[in-house]
Amino acid sequence: MRFLLMTTGDPQATAAPLDENLMIEMGKFIEEMTQAGVLLATGGLDPNGIHIKNSGGEITVTDGPFAEAKEAVVGFALIDVRSKEEAVELSKRFWKIVGDGEGEIRQVFGP
Amino acid sequence: MTASDTHRAIDAVWRLESARIIAGLTRMMRDVGVAEELAQDALVVALEKWPESGVPDNPGAWLMATAKHRAIDLLRRNKRLETKQEQLGHELETGPDTAEAEIDAALDDDLGDDVLRLMFISCHPVLSTESRVALTLRLLGGLTTDEIARAFLVPEPTVAQRIVRAKRTLSAKRIPFEVPPEAERAARLSSVLEVLYLVYNEGYSATAGDDWMRPALCAEALRLGRVLAELAPKEPEVHGLVALMEIQASRSSARTGPSGEPIPLLEQNRGRWDQLLIRRGFAALLRAERAGAPLGPYVLQGAIAACHAQARTPEETDWARIATLYQALARLTPSPVVELNRAVALGMAFGPAEGLELADRLTGEPALKSYHLLPSVRADFLARLGRSDEARSEYERAAALTRNERERRVLLERAAACAPGKTGP
């Protein structure tokens, strides 16, 4: 089963440089997830996103950053696990490394 | 968190951690059966305590520490009962604290290597194939005997017995817990790969088991293959098998129709192939090729799968390359089925006459006597050569041999479509 783990937050606030210790811990965690055959893809997202909207055939494209962006997705990991509970457990481990913050877990259905 | 939530969380932790815990304990106790019991004991303690205390911060370490304490108790007790001088027992005598610290140190490094050793031991050739499969799913996949039984459609006591007997055999024959020495390594590794591919195929071709367990078996084999590839990165055949499994898995949603009927490779909707898995398969093949060794059977099969995955349409398939790969495969693992596949590739690459010539040579093969694909392949070539009467009777023969209803219908349709008397009298 695939799950997308997302970290949400204010892109401006999270733009601060990460401390070195956290980077090391994170690196170890990512290595461990890869070694366990769990991690399929991971990445961070550019806070300067593009907003696109279709309204009655009229498509509007607006460049970010956006003022109200507290719930924007700022990073993600796509994982392959055996159950929802495993996804939650791995997400907990991630948050114990990262510290305060919020995120979402969604199951990804097949292509 | 409710009690059942906690139980599900514990179950997830167990699935994620059990292989490493059992592997670490096996190193300590030198007995995979004892190690598994100790790990199970720790799980039972967790099931008692965690619903009250909550899941600890590092549940894997908690389980490991609990199991380790029990292991030390057991070693002390054994030490008292028997005068036999084990290395660990001796250290316990000189001071329990140092012994514990040394065990800690031994368990802390090389956890990955322990898992690799566990794979080698659970796939040891001294065990029967069924036992190897059951033990691997149990120790490395964290599956219950019930789950394994359901997957292979055998009674649960049978699986339990296989596992018990396997553990006893390993213990009685004093199979060492080690990465096999160079001289044995290739043979031992191929035994591990065989088990993984067998589990994968059981899930993929679904000869038994319920619907839920079938995809679970494929996923488990693929997961263990990925783990093995990280632990033994210099072994090209491991990457070859991973490539093969990733690419086959990429087609899983395209290979059955709405009513569950199988769709052959060349008729599948390629838009439904999973590009992420295909890319992972290609990456695994690159890793295999970078090892620079002569290509083994899994790498060759992975490369054939990659040829199909690379073609955006069936017409773009590089059949000439596939034929060459099958020829190399036939040299390594000669089999009539491989030859038949080569005949198909030759026919697609260089015309039906060439394919038919090889297929004709296979008609005397006892192994293919009731294999419907032989007449079916010959029929396709005969039809393309305009020998309609022969094609029709070959299609009919294939239809009579297949056990798949949908396939039978397709073959009979093809037989009917062969215009009569084109080359006949």
Number of C-beta neighbours around residue B17 at 10 A: 23
The residue among B7, B13, B16, B247 with the most chain A CBs within 10 A of its CB, best to mutate, is B16
Confidence band for B414, pLDDT divided at 50, 70 and 90: very high
What six digits make up the tokens of A109?
């259905």
| More confident of the two residues A73 and B316 | B316
What pLDDT is stored for residue B18 in this prediction?
93
Q: How far is B10 from chain A (nearest CA, A)?
A: 9
Sign of CA dihedral B403, B407, B413, B416: negative
The answer to whether the CB of B126 falls within 8 A of the CB of B170 is yes
Write the pLDDT tens digit of every residue in A51-66: 899 999 999 999 877 7
B358 has a pLDDT exceeding 70: yes
Burial of A83 (0-12, 13-18, 19+ CB in 10 A): middle
Q: Does residue B262 have a cis peptide bond before it, meaning omega lies within 30 degrees of 0?
A: no
By CA distance, what is B279's nearest residue in A?
Answer: A40
For residue B256, what pLDDT is reported? 83
ipTM value of the model?
Answer: 0.85
Closest by Cα among B172, B277, B402 to A110: B277
pLDDT of B423 reads 47
The total of structural domains in chain A comes to 1
Domain CATH for A48: 3.30.70.1060
The structure tokens listed for B27 are 């190193």
A contacts of B231 (beta carbons < 8 Å): 35
Q: Which chain A residue has its CA at the smallest distance from B5's CA?
A: A85
* pLDDT over 60 (residue B6): yes
A14: confidence class by pLDDT, cuts 50, 70, 90: low
B contacts of A85 (beta carbons < 8 Å): 8-9, 11-12
Nearest-by-Cβ selection for B274 from A36, A41, A111 = A111
Enter the tokens of residue A21.
């210790």
What is the per-residue pLDDT for B405? 78
Residue B418: the pLDDT is 87
For position B86, what pLDDT does the model report? 53
Answer yes or no: is pLDDT of B210 > 60.
Answer: no
Nearest to B227 among A37, A85, A110 (CB): A37
Residue B251 CB partners (closer than 8 Å, separation 6+): B265, B268, B273, B274
Alpha-carbon Rg of chain B, whole angstroms? Answer: 26
- Closest to B162 in 3D by CA, of B143, B174, B148: B148
Check residue B54 and give left, alpha or beta (phi > 0: left; psi -120 to 50: alpha).
left
* Contact by Cβ (8 Å): A94, A33: no
Residue B260 has pLDDT above 80, yes or no: no
Residues of B in contact with A89 (CB under 8 A): 9, 12-13, 16, 59
Identify residue A16 by its one-letter amino acid code: A
Q: What would the DSSP string read from start to end of B324-369?
A: HHHHHHHHHS--HHHHHHHHHHHHHHH-HHHHHHHHHHTTT-GGGT
**Of the listed ranges A33-37, B68-72, B270-274, the one predicted with least confidence:** A33-37
Q: Which residue has the higher pLDDT, B204 or B198?
A: B198
Selection from B255, B228, B256 nearest residue B242 by Cα: B228
Nearest CA distance, B231 vs chain A (angstrom): 8
pLDDT tens digits, one per residue of B11-60: 999 999 999 999 999 998 989 999 999 999 999 999 999 988 888 888 88
Q: Using 50, 70 and 90 to split pLDDT, how confident is the model at B344?
A: very high
Instruction: Give CA A94 to chain center in angstroms.
Output: 11
- How close, in Å, is residue B305 to chain A by CA atoms? 19
| Domain boundaries defined on chain B | 3-109, 370-425
- 8 Å CB contact of A85 and B216: no
Quick one: tokens of B322? Answer: 């596939």
Radius of gyration of chain A (CA): 16
Cβ atoms < 10 Å from Cβ of A85: 19
**Residues spanned by the domain of A95:** 2-108
Q: Of A34-38, B2-6, B15-19, which gets the smallest average pLDDT?
A: B2-6
Please check whether residue A40 touches B, CB under 8 A: yes
Q: Residue A55 and residue B295: Cα distance in Å, rounded?
A: 56
* Mean pLDDT on A84-108: 92
- pLDDT above 70 covers a percentage of chain A that reads 87
Judge: A37–B216 Cβ closer than 8 Å, yes or no. Answer: no
Q: Is the pLDDT of residue B425 over 60?
A: no
Residues of B in contact with A41 (CB under 8 A): 276
Tokens 């991971």 correspond to A42
**For A86, which of B12, B224, B253 is closest by C-beta distance?**
B12
Instruction: Check B12 against A85: CB less than 8 A apart.
Output: yes
pLDDT above 60: residue B100 = no
**Chain segment B81-99, per-residue pLDDT in tens:** 665 445 555 555 555 455 5
Say whether pLDDT at A69 is over 50: yes
Q: Which residues of A touch B220 (CB under 8 A)?
A: 82
Sort out which chain A residues have CB atoms less than 8 A from B225's CB and list them.
Answer: 37
pTM of the predicted model, to two decimals?
0.87
What's the mean pLDDT in B235-249?
A: 96
Q: Which two tokens stand for residue B239?
A: 């990457």
Length of chain A: 111
Sheet holding A39-44, edge to edge: A39-44, A72-80, A2-9, A102-108
- Of B402, B333, B337, B326, the C-alpha closest to B367 is B337
Q: How many CB atoms lie within 10 A of CB B354?
A: 16
* CB distance B241 to B196 below 8 Å: yes
Give the residue numbers in B contacting A (CB under 8 Å), as ranges.
8-9, 11-13, 15-16, 57, 59, 112, 216, 219-220, 222-227, 230-231, 252-253, 272-276, 280
